[in-house]
Amino acid sequence: MGDEIEFKKKSEYVWEIPKTGSMRVPAIIYASAALMDKIKEDKTLLQASNVAHLQGIQKASYVMPDAHQGYGFPIGGVAAFDMDEGIISPGGVGYDINCGVRLLKTDWTFKDLQSKRQELLDMLYKEIPAGVGRGGITKLSKSELLEVLNTGAKWALKNGYGTKEDLQRTEEDGHMEGADPSACSTRALARGLPQLGTLGAGNHFLEIQKVDKIYDKTTADAFGIDKEGQVTVMIHCGSRGFGHQVASDYIRLMEDKFGHAHLPDRELINAPINSDLGQKYYKAMCSAINFAFANRQMIAHWTRDVFNKVLGSSEGMRMVYDVCHNIAKFEEHDVDGKKKKLCIHRKGATRSFGPGRIEIPEVYRKVGQPVMLPGSMGTASYVLVGTKKAEEISWGSTAHGAGRVASRAWALKHYRGEEVKKHLEEMDIKVKAGSWKGLAEECHKVYKDIDEVARVSTNLGLGKKVARLVPIGVVKG
């Protein structure tokens, strides 16, 4: 297939790559014209149409408003597969399995902690392990690691990290039932062991934020977000080297078994869901999902500790929600009027269920699932609420943040870390980062317009704006 992918506009925010050649279904892109201009600049459209070739795919290969080029699947790709005929693909999940976002709300306002901000950041940077080639402070035994992989955030709770409510307000209650560490390689376990309880680096971060605007007061109240200026904390990280190893192990195993010459893209390697290997990947993936849940549970706990030490209390610091954005799950959805169990792949996409779904916590079931779109440093993040409409048109999914529009090389040509820090400080955002270069690469100008992504998601009904959050302090590895 050439680089020019034919697509047509179906409506203001819906675009289609029609089913042609060996595509089994069309590809559908949810974006505004402005976002589409960016999307068509890289290989996103080609990748979306490649996904449409995969066996057992249902309805369409979906692309979210913040999509950009990925490996095999585009980042911001959603695809559902029939359980009997369909496939499961490590490329459709991503290397950073259960990279996700956790949001805590507090009872403080920006004014309350303005003077203590640097102290908070310094202590967060000190207490929460981050960076590259550095392990965590948690000394785990192998059997403890196995328990983490089996039970995820439950292990963390059992070991004194956080509260029961935290788990209730986490996607999947903070653990996937289908995990089996024996499906994970020795090497994956070896990489995971020293990395539990670490933030990582790159685009992972911990951000102290304040509520900038509330769009839907009823839903915001239900989520615990009740006033402008309220302080929130957002944590963005995943399964670290453990997840990366699980992904590459299974890419290798699936290639060995099924070959890859028949695939439009080597990174679309997959196995039938029904097969031994497909089931084993699912079990290993669930183990990695659990690792990431435990990770975020620990980091959130340490965050509360730090706030307690610096401000004297962390009582009002409660979970809003924790969402995954690199995952494959078995979910029941409506297909042509019938309820069907499907394998949903969300790669750089977030589940966005509406009111009534049993998968969302009881406390939110009347309003819908909280969805967090993390922005980049220096720009906003959003809290959205899931919708019934999303269930109808995107397997209950929406964007995961603001995808990049410019390369790290471009960023480094145009920005220096020190400049970015100064610019952020001018916007009254304090930063504590492990790397100047990392700061420059992550500067907001290289990301898509998060406000546009949130607007499109709302107008389409994929996930509706509840609140806009802006950073007041950032911790990066």
In the bound state with another protein, the residue whose beta carbon lies nearer, of 173 and 449, is 449
Instruction: Write down the catalytic residue from 400, 414, 423, 444.
Output: 400
Contact of 375 with 474, CB cutoff 8 Å: no
Name beta bridge partners: 331: 342
Sites of contact with another protein (CB under 8 A): 42, 68-72, 75, 95-96, 131-135, 187, 190-191, 194-195, 200-203, 241, 244-245, 247-248, 252, 255-256, 266-267, 403-410, 434-438, 441, 477
User: What's the min distance (Å) between Cβ of 60 and another protein?
Assistant: 23
In the bound state with another protein, the residue whose beta carbon lies nearer, of 187 and 213, is 187
Nearest to 44 by CA among 3, 85, 14, 13: 3
Residue 175 annotated in active site: no
User: What's the min distance (Å) between Cβ of 293 and another protein?
Assistant: 18
Cα separation of 17 and 201, whole Å? 36
User: What's the min distance (Å) between Cβ of 131 and another protein?
Assistant: 6
The 10 Å Cβ neighbour count of residue 82 is 18
Pair of tokens at residue 182: 């024996």
Cα separation of 79 and 77, whole Å? 7
User: What's the min distance (Å) between Cβ of 41 and another protein?
Assistant: 8
User: What's the min distance (Å) between Cβ of 407 and another protein?
Assistant: 5
In the bound state with another protein, the residue whose beta carbon lies nearer, of 21 and 133, is 133
User: What's the min distance (Å) between Cβ of 345 and another protein?
Assistant: 17
In the bound state with another protein, the residue whose beta carbon lies nearer, of 215 and 436, is 436
In the bound state with another protein, the residue whose beta carbon lies nearer, of 69 and 109, is 69
Contact of 344 with 282, CB cutoff 8 Å: no
In the bound state with another protein, the residue whose beta carbon lies nearer, of 322 and 442, is 442
Catalytic (active-site) positions:
400
